[in-house]
Structure 1
Amino acid sequence: MVDENKKDLISQIQKEFPKLSKGQKLIAQYIIDNYDKAAFMTASKLANKVGVSESTVVRFANALNFEGYPQLQKGLEEIIKTKLTTVQRVEMASEYSDEGAILKKVLKADIDNIRNTLEKIDYDVFQQVVDKVCHSETIYIVALRSSTALADYLGFYLNLVLDNVKIVNRGISNMFEQMLRISDKDLVIGIGFPRYSVQTLDALNYAKEQGATVVALTDSLISPLASMADYPLIAKSNMASFVDSLVAPLSLINALVVAVGMREKDKITEYFNKLEDIWEKYNVYERKDQN
């Protein structure tokens, strides 16, 4: 069940504003005016910025029915995913003191994204997706913007295991032309993270209308892609800057490809043996005996 407080936290703060103490109202007003900055502040930093005690920040979170400040912070992060412009993301990144701070912040954010993905992944849904990948007639992968890198990666490796994978993109032909023959025997894997591509959503909607099964690889169950999906796969992508964090989604894709590969182990062993002969014959990869 979606936590409505987190879905529309700013409205919740405005609703509770008259009941707050003087110090809590200062915090509330700062968050309303600067939610994009507050989402990345510690309780201590927010307290110093507003001019209240850290305990007042904690009590403010409690007043909004959060267990503590970290939960309130996560609520803010959910809001800004779709509201922040690229310019605002650049401004956030400029607050880092130096390159060393940037390195630590980004790597830590990616580690947290993988950890959160592992803790919250629905294993039953994951297994059902593996089943669908193995038994669908054709697999269409739909992704645009920065998510095209994930689509290319997933398509490349699935095509080494299977022979029925198509990557749908905005190339010479229209996306709908590429999906013209889609049917209820097919699977569509839509990939999208904030800010969500309207064209990706249109393509998934078309797939649903044709009776195809839809898998969404996205960041949240309240994502517009997840709402269209028969099987939502959730990978956290909380960003530390203007660059989208795609580490957790890529890790989930790795797991999906490996799981499918193990289902088709005997088939792909023969296939890879043939590939190795071709790679060696045509010098695709550097040989160990080459100097």
Structure 2
Amino acid sequence: MPSPQQARAQASAITSGKADQDTEVSPTSQLRTLFDRPRLSPGQRRIAQYLIEHLTEAAFLSITDLAERVGVSQPSVTRFASVVGFSGYPALREKLQAIALGTLPGGLAEENRGNELQAAVDAEIENLENLRRDFADPDRVIEIGRMLAASVPLTVLGLRISGSLAEHFGYAARRIHPDVRLVTRGGSVAYDALLQSREAGGSWVLAFSMPRHAQETLTAVRVARDAGLKVALITDLTLGPLADEADVAFATGTGSRLVFDSYATAGVMCAALLQAMTDADPERTQARLDAYEQVADQRQFFLRD
């Protein structure tokens, strides 16, 4: 049995440990202290803000990916690392990773350091949490869904890696919309489709652009705007030339922890816009869904449960 002196020492150690936990500096505070430099330029402040808001993902980005997400050049990222006291971007990233790994739930930083798959899921969960906060005010999604539903025809554009998202959205939209035109090839093929859509009475294009952002996507968006079409953009960036060209941009974080990106948040964004489209014209939606189910039953499109 411990002596009274030993018991007091143990109690003091426990209390001290709890106090240390209570006063532990948050990751956000650590980053703000790290980036608290009076001479940061506006571009450098954008980099700092992005790192603060997307720490668990940004800490593992290459310099190319970080520059692209923030909408700055790679030399700008290098200069930023130097201004905030590091020898270069690799040294800054090492510091960011140390902070990020300490924020993982349950104190499992060491375990997750060796489990890339769980870390990738954690990053996507954070992206979904950010989207959930954006959906606290759903008015913009509802309004754009109404506009897309009213555009006949409706063009859905997705080139290169973004083609799969466009195809997913187009497949579902055809169930509830009378004329959906999918564009997944760039160059003059895309230009022809966009111009024909406008001539046929279309008013909106829904475009997807995920990393790496294709130059031909930017050109196609500009062609659409020049033709008189409005552009709603689903992308991972709120800054940069693509977002600047679009009439409205929805930023959905991209999971970039694995060799190839994942698009869980973009998938939810697609579903939200589709929901808004169905709600915009419920009678048309119900009639088209009923007609489709009849054909599906007659032609036995699907296996029976």
Could you say whether these structures have the same fold, taking a TM-score greater than 0.5 normalized by the shorter chain as the test?
yes
Shift of the 40–281 alpha-carbon distance from structure 1 to 2, 3 Å rule, reads farther
Shift of the 148–269 alpha-carbon distance from structure 1 to 2, 3 Å rule, reads same
Given candidates 158, 167, 174, the residue that maps to 1:143 is 158
TM-score when scaled to structure 2?
A: 0.66
Given candidates 176, 179, 204, the residue that maps to 1:161 is 176
Shift of the 237–39 alpha-carbon distance from structure 1 to 2, 3 Å rule, reads farther
Q: Distance in 2 between matches of 1:182 and 1:282?
A: 31
1:265 corresponds to which letter in structure 2? P
Query: Deviation at 1:5?
Result: 4.0
Match of 1:267 in 2: 284
Percentage of pairs with the same residue? 19
Q: Distance in 2 between matches of 1:96 and 1:259?
A: 40
Given candidates 15, 32, 53, the residue that maps to 2:83 is 15
Match of 1:221 in 2: 238
1:197 corresponds to which letter in structure 2? A
Match of 1:114 in 2: 128
Query: Deviation at 1:257?
Result: 0.6
Match of 2:19 in 1: none
Q: Distance in 2 between matches of 1:117 and 1:272?
A: 28
Larger Rg: 2
2:131 corresponds to which letter in structure 1? T
Does the 8 A contact of 1:125 with 1:233 survive in 2? no
2:133 corresponds to which letter in structure 1? E
Match of 1:102 in 2: 116
Give every structure 1 segment of 4 or more consecutive aligned residues whose post-TM-superposition deviation is greater than 6 Å. Answer: none
- Residues 163-183 of structure 1 show CA distances to partners (whole Å, capped at 9, x for unaligned) of 121111228972212223243
Q: Distance in 1 between matches of 2:123 and 2:257?
A: 7
Q: 5+ unaligned residues in a row in structure 2: which ranges?
A: 1-41, 49-69, 71-75, 105-111
CA RMSD of aligned residues (A): 3.0
Match of 2:97 in 1: 41
Query: Deviation at 1:201?
Result: 0.8
Instruction: List aligned pairs for 1:49-64, cutoff 5 A.
Output: none
SS of residue paired to 2:175: helix
Does the 8 A contact of 2:141 with 2:272 survive in 1? no
Query: Deviation at 1:39?
Result: 8.0
Match of 2:46 in 1: 4
Shift of the 205–129 alpha-carbon distance from structure 1 to 2, 3 Å rule, reads same
Shift of the 246–278 alpha-carbon distance from structure 1 to 2, 3 Å rule, reads same
Query: Deviation at 1:34?
Result: 5.5
Does the 8 A contact of 2:191 with 2:220 survive in 1? yes
Q: Distance in 2 between matches of 1:218 and 1:102?
A: 24
SS of residue paired to 2:192: helix
Q: Distance in 2 between matches of 1:268 and 1:4?
A: 42
Does the 8 A contact of 1:238 with 1:245 survive in 2? yes
Aligned pair count?
227
Query: Deviation at 1:44?
Result: 8.0
Does the 8 A contact of 1:204 with 1:214 survive in 2? yes
Query: Deviation at 1:205?
Result: 0.6
1:32 corresponds to which letter in structure 2? Y
SS of residue paired to 1:232: strand
Query: Deviation at 1:111?
Result: 1.1
Query: Deviation at 1:209?
Result: 0.9
Query: Deviation at 1:204?
Result: 0.1
Shift of the 158–193 alpha-carbon distance from structure 1 to 2, 3 Å rule, reads same
Does the 8 A contact of 2:186 with 2:216 survive in 1? no
1:128 aligns with 2:143: yes
SS of residue paired to 2:256: coil
TM-score when scaled to structure 1?
A: 0.69
1:248 aligns with 2:265: yes
